[in-house]
Chains A and B, each alone.
Chain A
């Protein structure tokens, strides 16, 4: 079993929809949680960076961490075609130097 599980998709939604992307993990030592967006043939770019449990909002994006369930989510409101990309979750231990990535969920937002 992988340390971080992420549904690969593809996930197809209409423009304007609310998108929910999720990851589950097994290592309770993870304390820092990140979401990266990766466009085709580009490198991952950091979207959200959170510590421990709770919510963090940035514009149309909300990251949610539930450490008791070992579950993290990224919500995208009013989704746009420009949001079409692969979304990678990533996490690390407190003070750790190893980032563990999910395999990514491919999202397509259609007009």
Chain B
């Protein structure tokens, strides 16, 4: 039982390049989330998916797109990476959208040069 699995673990991009961060959960959770973590800023919500087939913007969605591929998988895409997107990205899932705790993956460390 792996929980929440994120790939890749590390990535270096040049400005303007694109990439997709992958996330999969095996807990049969309905809701999934993408956060970024920056020093002094805490965890900030980028996008979330309350259930399969739905996605919504979070606090900092600009420059990102998401796809809820199925109940297990939720991907985050950077179409044209910028240095401001250098961060650690965490995927999380929860049983329901409201009032149930989040379970996190171990993150993708992204550097944009």
A interface, CB within 8 angstroms of B: 4, 8, 32, 34, 36, 41-46, 49, 88, 90, 92, 94-99, 101-104
Contact = CB atoms under 8 A, between A and B. Distances in A.
B42 A97 contact: no
Interface string B30-42: 0000000000111
A32 B99 contact: yes
Contact of A98 (B45, B90, B104): B45
Interface size class of B (residues with CB under 8 A): 20 to 34
Nearest to B90: A43
Given A32-B99, A95-B99, A99-B102, A43 B4 contact: yes
Given A43-B104, A45-B104, A102 B42 contact: yes
23 contacts: A32-B99, A34-B101, A36-B104, A41-B106, A41-B107, A43-B4, A43-B90, A43-B92, A46-B102, A88-B42, A92-B99, A94-B99, A95-B98, A95-B99, A97-B48, A98-B58, A98-B59, A101-B42, A101-B43, A101-B44, A103-B40, A103-B41, A103-B42
Given A8-B40, A94-B99, 8 more contacts: A41-B106, A43-B106, A96-B98, A98-B58, A99-B45, A101-B42, A101-B44, A102-B42
A41 B88 CA distance: 9
A41 B101 CA distance: 21
Interface of B: 4, 40-45, 48, 50, 58-59, 90, 92, 97-99, 101-107, 109
